[in-house]
Amino acid sequence: MIRSKTLRIASGSLLTALVLSACTPADPQAETSKALVDGVLLPSYTQWAEADRRLAASAIAYCADNQTTKEAQEAFVHAQTAWAGLQPLLIGPMGEGNLAWQVQFWPDKKNLVARQVTALLNAKPNLSQADLDGASVVVQGLSAYEYILFDKGIDLADSTSKARYCPLLIAIGEHQQQLAAGVLQQWQDKDGMADQLRRFPNERYAEPSEAIAELLRVQVTALDGLKKKLGAPLGRQAKGHPQPYQAEGWRSDTTLANIAAAIKGAESLWLGADKDGLRELLGAEQADLAKRIDAGYAELLQQLTGITQPFGELLSSETGRGELDALYQRIDRLHRLHQLDLARALGVQIGFNAHDGD
């Protein structure tokens, strides 16, 4: 009898707990974090890993004369664009341990990429994968790959020259493929990065607000970085004298495409895949801020779409520099809207970032 009564009490308590749990409203920040993982972050990391898989395959095909130089260049641009779009999403593994340097070395103020590629191949004419994996980050990533495929000083139409550089192309492709696949695995593992952004508390985040704060911080850091990527070649730190070789992707003329991809990556965090991004955390009283940020992204992408001249040509004329300066100002305004207004609205302390002091 006593046992039966105890069981009824325990069952009633469990039922009450389940009912209360069902009635408890979901935490909006936890819902947003989960939605961004499933709709934006995991798909973006998956696309990046796939782009690097295709890059590795392209290097092998190109060096076996089964692909043209143009096709190899297109594979590079695809991988570069995927990486640019990922930069506002560098939360977790790719934001730690300086892994990003292994993907791309920028800024290259002293032409270290060209110098170190030459030095490496002189020292290791029969370069192996192990040689590349143990070398400097300067030669492991997309910047070195771009140098080989696009630099005017390298004649890949010459079979001897192609044979010299092909082992490095293949090794870089494999290095990037392994790096991206490894990072993606860290996202997908049980209790990995994706799970840590879906369920709270965990060893990384005690509560959802910490995850939202970090997502906003990486977005702010990326927007600030875009200002540097545009400001450096514009000469904003060189008394207004243009510095064309400080542009990201100047050899492949991907500077503006990279900026556009990064802006779209940042916008994906803001909007989410199904109107479930950071924007949804703003209340009705913050509708004006939401509209201003919406407009900031739309105007930026519209201006980028309207630019038809190559970046180098724009830098060489006063009119072109004026157009690029207007683009810089738009990025600056969007950056400040995130760093100041959005951070305040979400109760986030931004603090310092990787670009402070630049």
Query: Is residue 156 situated within a structural domain?
Result: yes
Domain membership of residue 329 as a residue range:
28-346
Cα 286 from chain centroid? 28
Query: Is residue 230 situated within a structural domain?
Result: yes
Q: Which residues contact 238 (CB under 8 A, 6 or more apart)?
A: none
Sign of the torsion formed by the C-alpha atoms of 216, 221, 224 and 226: negative
DSSP character string of 124-144: -TT--HHHHHTS-GGGTSHHH
Give pLDDT, residue 25. 61
Query: Is residue 16 situated within a structural domain?
Result: no
Report the C-alpha gap between 173 and 189 in whole angstroms. Answer: 24
Largest CA distance in the chain: 93
pTM of the model: 0.91
* Count of domains for the chain: 1
Cα 253 from chain centroid? 19
**pLDDT tens column, 296-350:** 999 999 999 999 999 999 999 999 999 999 999 999 999 999 999 999 999 999 8
Give pLDDT, residue 5. 47
Query: Is residue 338 situated within a structural domain?
Result: yes
SS3 for 189?
coil
CATH for 66: 1.20.1420.20
Computed on alpha carbons and rounded to an integer, the radius of gyration of the chain in Å comes to 24
Q: What CA dihedral angle connects 331, 333, 338 and 342, to 10 degrees? A: -150
Report DSSP state, residue 125.
Answer: T
Query: Is residue 216 situated within a structural domain?
Result: yes
SS3 for 188?
helix
Report the C-alpha gap between 254 and 84 in whole angstroms. Answer: 10
Q: For each successive 10 residues of the chain (358 residues), what is the average pLDDT?
A: 47 43 70 98 98 98 98 98 98 90 95 98 97 98 98 97 98 98 98 98 97 98 97 89 94 97 98 98 98 98 96 96 97 98 96 50
Query: Is residue 356 situated within a structural domain?
Result: no
Report the C-alpha gap between 298 and 295 in whole angstroms. Answer: 5
